[in-house]
């Protein structure tokens, strides 16, 4: 079968085994960074030279804040990411799994930072989290 485009809404995101519900995410972005060491010398003939020394990944999830209007219970996945964002030290790193619509998984350890929560008069309340990967992303 030929590879085809997939919709972003088919991806799933879980923190330490607890997935965010399908209504909990409106968009996501996976960003990559790279830092270089300058190795330019007189022998470089006036041309810059470098070697890559570190690479990093950040995952940003954005959605609407979800809670049960009767019980106040939060979406379990959003609550798990929010709890991770409150932890410090070694406890501030947990296993994250991203799954594509075709079933490919991306597993990594990450810390979290909460995004601002808010909205206007006629808006749903926003929710979000930024994940900073620690180490390597394992594809499976």
pLDDT (tens digit per residue) in 61-116:
999 999 999 999 999 999 999 999 999 999 999 999 999 999 999 999 999 999 99
**Domain boundaries in the chain?**
8-139
Note the CATH number of domain 8-139.
2.40.30
Picking from 64, 58, 78, 103, the residue whose alpha carbon sits closest to that of residue 14 is: 78
Instruction: Render pLDDT for 34-55 as a digit per residue (tens, 0 to 9).
Output: 999 999 999 999 999 999 999 9
Rounded CA separation 99/107 (Å): 9
Calpha distance 129→123 (Å, rounded):
19
Record the pTM. 0.91
Q: What is the CA radius of gyration of the chain?
A: 19
Q: How high is the mean pLDDT of the chain?
A: 96
25 three-state secondary structure:
coil
Residues in the chain: 140
Q: Give the closest residue to 48 by CA, choosing from 36, 66, 60.
A: 36
């Amino acid at each position: 079968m030929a590879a085809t485009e997939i919709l972003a809404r088919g991806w799933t995101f879980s923190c330490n085994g607890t997935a965010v519900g399908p209504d909990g995410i409106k968009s996501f972005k996976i960003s990559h960074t790279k830092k270089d060491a300058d190795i330019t010398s007189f022998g470089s003939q006036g041309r810059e030279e470098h070697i890559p020394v570190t690479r990093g990944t950040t995952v940003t999830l954005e959605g609407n804040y979800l809670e049960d209007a009767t019980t106040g219970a939060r979406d379990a996945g959003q609550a798990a990411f929010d709890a991770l964002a409150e932890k410090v030290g070694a406890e501030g790193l947990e296993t994250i799994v991203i799954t594509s619509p075709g079933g490919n998984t991306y597993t990594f350890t990450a810390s979290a930072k909460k995004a601002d929560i808010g909205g206007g008069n006629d808006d749903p309340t926003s929710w979000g989290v930024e994940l900073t990967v620690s180490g390597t992303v394992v594809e499976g």
